[in-house]
Amino acid sequence: MNNYISENKDRFLNELLDMLRIPSVSADPKFKQDVLRTAEFVKDRLSEAGADKVELCETAGYPIVYGEKIIDPSLPTVLVYGHYDVQPADPYELWNSPPFEPVIKDGKIYARGACDDKGQMYMHVKAFEVMMRNNALPCNVKFMIEGEEEVGSANLATFVKNNKAKLAADVILISDTGMLGNDTPSITTGLRGMSYLEVEVTGPNRDLHSGLYGGAVANPINILCQMIASMHDENNHITIPGFYDNVVELSAEERAEMARAPFSLDKYKKALDLSDIHGEEGYTTMERNSIRPTLDVNGIWGGYIGEGAKTVIPSKAFAKISMRLVPDQTSEEITEKFTKHFESIAPASVKVLVKPHHGGEPVVTPTDSVAYKAASRAYEETFGVKPVPVRSGGSIPIVAMFKSELGLDSVLMGFGLDSDAIHSPNENFGVFNYMKGIETIPLFYKYYAEMSR
Amino acid sequence: MNNYISENKDRFLNELLDMLRIPSVSADPKFKQDVLRTAEFVKDRLSEAGADKVELCETAGYPIVYGEKIIDPSLPTVLVYGHYDVQPADPYELWNSPPFEPVIKDGKIYARGACDDKGQMYMHVKAFEVMMRNNALPCNVKFMIEGEEEVGSANLATFVKNNKAKLAADVILISDTGMLGNDTPSITTGLRGMSYLEVEVTGPNRDLHSGLYGGAVANPINILCQMIASMHDENNHITIPGFYDNVVELSAEERAEMARAPFSLDKYKKALDLSDIHGEEGYTTMERNSIRPTLDVNGIWGGYIGEGAKTVIPSKAFAKISMRLVPDQTSEEITEKFTKHFESIAPASVKVLVKPHHGGEPVVTPTDSVAYKAASRAYEETFGVKPVPVRSGGSIPIVAMFKSELGLDSVLMGFGLDSDAIHSPNENFGVFNYMKGIETIPLFYKYYAEMSR
């Protein structure tokens, strides 16, 4: 198989670049046609690779690309999940090359979606092609590639509920996470959940002159800042009543185990150009971004933000706020607690509105399963080192949903790196990592099929 | 003269509408040509009205329109100041009719600049025409109409310094303020100063994924909110060290005098649709917006502010912050204290940058001067009531500058109303007020000339 992979390397890369040229930003309606074109692209490549029953499954939002190859119903079935939509690319001016004009530089593919998740999702399409062309597919496989992951997978749960038979499988395989490093492969065994809301604070019913009214009416920006500031205490604990009620504290052993993962605080600060880190008292950086819940403002706006100066007290101020959740918090519980708290701390001089965007549940996946062991062996064979189990701070809400709806565990074989800058300007994905994924995935199938016998 | 005014009412209105159609937004470079066209417009109307030596005086920024009529060097000279630039009009979507397509509805002229200051400035051009056509100009007059008031009059001081002889006069006459009501005329006797700054808070050197980094690095938006929130205490006193050091407290008598001005808190709250007011403990609403200094965020932005959700920790967050000052605070002193304080409260996990925009000094004008008495008589004759002296919360920084550079007091004959929504969507100016101004101004000249003898 490795010969086939090396012979076709350039084509594998060019096909990915072609897909990266389509700006499939699901958050912004103006890219709707591009998102749909991307779905068609994935559908066509799946068919060419040898999948059967390839189709676009309509949803209330963007379609889900489905395809399968059933070689023997008595063999286990792997359900591959990925997404073809990408994050918005702005601020565009911070990109060194246009986000939707992919370039390969210093062994890295630069483009929005290069890693998250077009690059990692497409590794599976190509790995499938490799196994098909070499008559080496050892079990059944199904593909479910959605187009709304970056906006909360609003319609995926319904699709899964309505298609349980079609999606019947033994394990779910996902590459939408990262590794510690190219010399330190790792497998993600935990994900944080999320509660994402938008808040609106209204002061006076119209914008006011800050000279004539300043000091006498509530300025919604100042008030919003006060409300946001009050949601962390001096130790950076979140002050929402009951926020930590359901948080599972890790044992000293588990924390010691985590602390073994290689990590350099100096390198971390240097990479982000930080003079100091910032986070919850009593926890390490690796713990803060994985096993602890957070509250971050992802966007804020209000008043005059153009060039120059305008002396205005705006009528409204807005913020997008997300909270990352850990077991056993639930997005519904936290969304409710946030909303109740936010309304309760609003002074009588303003009106507030809280609009929940989307949520997802935290998850921890087993490390003693056949799937995990098969994945571990696959990495060990291609990287030469046994991969480390790691709990990630990110969220893939659908992992918990797959567990509850389909009763299936997911194995998270990520090949990205922290330096890939996903969700940021200059997102990139190593050619090394892309090819390593295409090489490693067939080995997962091989060992998974063997060990399942 | 009143016959001439009523006969020419329509033309007076149409000329103003023509000027309002030119979007002379000085804060936004994309309107540069329009700002310059507006200067030409004012220049031409001044000449037609009968002014001599009309010219555009070049500055480092937008030109100053100058014109004069010297009928007898032995008579007193009135120097009229006004500005032809306007505030930005956004948010456009909140206007009931386009800001630069003026309409007259229910006796009000709706357009950006209708009141501030095109409408009020043009009353002086027309009042001058009225006096000229009726051989009723009783003293000398000079006009100085600038185009950078809404961005801090950056180049006016230099112009004044370099043209002291040309601008020599006995009093400065300005209509860039308001009255308490059409049945309660008032004359502004005090103005607040201002210190306007823009702040930038930088966390990580690039936008980060809030899942992978959330909780472990400083989020510049959260930090900026904390810093802004900390600048007011629970009594809404400003916490910047030394901020109140030079504030002149009014005597009980002066506060009692102020309290006599008609004011209904219920009407005030109803007009702004506020359930409650908000301001500095221990002061009334009228005091909070006139004799007390303030700190307001005029604009804030950072992170993802587009449609939908983006889970990002931005690299930077920004805010525009202005402080209104009262005697004897100075903008230089307060700008320095703010900057020092803002830098001192920044945690080590972020970098901050403070950029001063512009400032102006507070001022209190005498009520026992000939000019004030002449203005008072003029209002009394046209409105039938004696005008009330009022200290305004707004800032016209150049009033203090005129005093220091030219040694001249200003008389602030405003004809606008609170409901004119200056600096807001749907700015408007009553046709009644526009015509009343044209009627009242010549009487000021008459009594000022008489009483100066």
Q: Which of A425, A355, A426, A351 is nearest to B304 (CA)?
A: A425
Give the β-pairing of B108-110 and B103-105.
antiparallel
Q: Distance, in angstroms, between A131 CA and closest chain B CA?
A: 33
Q: Do the Cβ atoms of A213 and B425 come within 8 Å?
A: no
Shortest distance between the Cα of A28 and any Cα of chain B, in A, equals: 6
> Cβ–Cβ of A229/B226 closer than 8 Å?
yes
User: Can A85 be counted among the known catalytic residues?
Assistant: yes
Partner-chain contact A215 B425, CB within 8 Å = no
Query: What's residue A80's pLDDT?
Result: 98
Residues on chain B touching A151 (C-beta within 8 angstroms): 308-309
CA distance B6 to chain A (A): 32
Q: Which residues of B are catalytic?
A: 85, 149
Cβ pair A225:B225 closer than 8 A: yes
Residue of B nearest to A192 (CA): B211
Closest residue on chain A to B292 (Cα): A215
Q: Do B275 and A351 touch (CB under 8 A)?
A: yes
> Backbone dihedral region of B421: left (phi > 0), alpha (psi from -120 to 50 degrees) or beta?
left
Backbone region of residue A426 per phi and psi (left: phi > 0; alpha: psi in -120 to 50; beta: other values) = left
CB-based contact A276 B348, cutoff 8 Å: yes
The answer to whether the Cβ–Cβ distance between A209 and B422 falls below 8 Å is: yes
DSSP annotation of A232: B
Q: Which residues of B touch A308 (CB under 8 A)?
A: 26-28, 88, 151, 357
Contact: A225, B222; criterion CB under 8 Å: no
Which of A91, A297, A311 comes nearest B423 by C-beta?
A311
B9-20 and B32-49 helices, crossing angle to 10°: 160
Residues of A in contact with B289 (CB under 8 A): 212-216
For the segment A61-110, what is each residue's pLDDT rounded down to a tens digit? 999 999 999 999 999 999 999 999 999 998 899 999 999 999 999 999 99
**How distant, in Å, are the alpha carbons of A263, A274, A277 from that of A267?**
8, 10, 12
List the helix and strand counts (H, then E) for chain A. Answer: 13, 18
Residue of A117, A148, A149, A439 with catalytic role: A149
In chain B, residues with a C-beta closer than 8 Å to the C-beta of A420 are none
Query: For residue A366, what pLDDT is reported?
Result: 84
C-alpha distances (whole Å) from B397 to each of A435, B82, B153, B191 are 65, 13, 8, 8
pTM: 0.80
pLDDT at A253: 87
- Please give the single-letter amino acid code of residue A227: M
CA dist A134 and A442 (Å) reads: 11
Rg over CA atoms, chain B? 23
What's the pLDDT at B152?
84
- Position B334 scores a pLDDT of 98
CA closest to B116 among chain A residues: A209
State the best of A30, A275, A424, A427 to mutate against chain B, taking most chain B CBs within 10 Å: A424
CA distance B139 to chain A (A): 34
State the best of A208, A297, A352, A363 to mutate against chain B, taking most chain B CBs within 10 Å. A297
Mean pLDDT by 10 residues, chain A (453 residues): 95 98 96 98 98 98 98 97 96 95 98 98 98 98 97 93 97 94 93 95 94 93 98 98 96 86 91 96 95 97 90 96 96 97 97 92 90 97 93 86 94 94 95 98 98 92
The rounded average pLDDT for each run of 10 residues, N- to C-terminus, in chain B (453 residues) is 95 98 96 98 98 98 98 97 96 95 98 98 98 98 97 93 97 94 93 95 94 93 98 98 96 86 91 96 95 97 90 96 96 97 97 92 89 97 93 86 94 94 95 98 98 92
From CA A165, how far away is CA A399, in angstroms rounded?
Answer: 18
Q: What are A57's two structure tokens?
A: 């499954």
C-alpha B447/C-alpha B453 separation (Å) is 10
Q: How many inter-chain contacts (A to B, CB under 8 Å) are there?
A: 374
In this complex, the residue of A312, A318, A393 whose CB is nearest that of residue B214 is A393
Q: Do A207 and B358 touch (CB under 8 A)?
A: no
Task: Tell me how far apart the alpha carbons of residues B309 and B66 are, in angstroms, rounded to a whole number.
Answer: 53
The answer to whether the CB atoms of B279 and A351 lie below 8 A apart is no
The distance of A203 to chain B (nearest Cα, Å) reads 7
Residue tagged active-site, from A85, A148, A420, A427: A85
Q: Do A222 and B232 touch (CB under 8 A)?
A: yes
Nearest-neighbour CA in chain B from A315: distance (Å)? 9
